[in-house]
Amino acid sequence: MENTLGIERVWELARREDDRSAAFRGVVAYCDGESFEATPEPVDTERRGQDLGVDERAGATTDEQVADEGLPVRLFEGVVPGTVVAPRGESGFGYDPIFEYDGQTFAEMDTEEKNAVSHRGRALARFAEWYDQKRNPGE
Confidence of residue 17 (pLDDT cuts 50, 70, 90): very high
Look up the pTM and report it. Answer: 0.65
pLDDT in tens, 19-31: 999 999 999 988 8
* 2 in a structural domain: no
How far lies 10's CA from each of 92, 96, 100, 107, in Å? 17, 12, 14, 16
**Residue 65 is part of a domain; what is its CATH number?**
3.90.950.10
* 44 in a structural domain: yes
Domain count, the chain: 1
Distance CA 78, CA 117 (A): 10
The parent domain of residue 48 ranges over 7-135
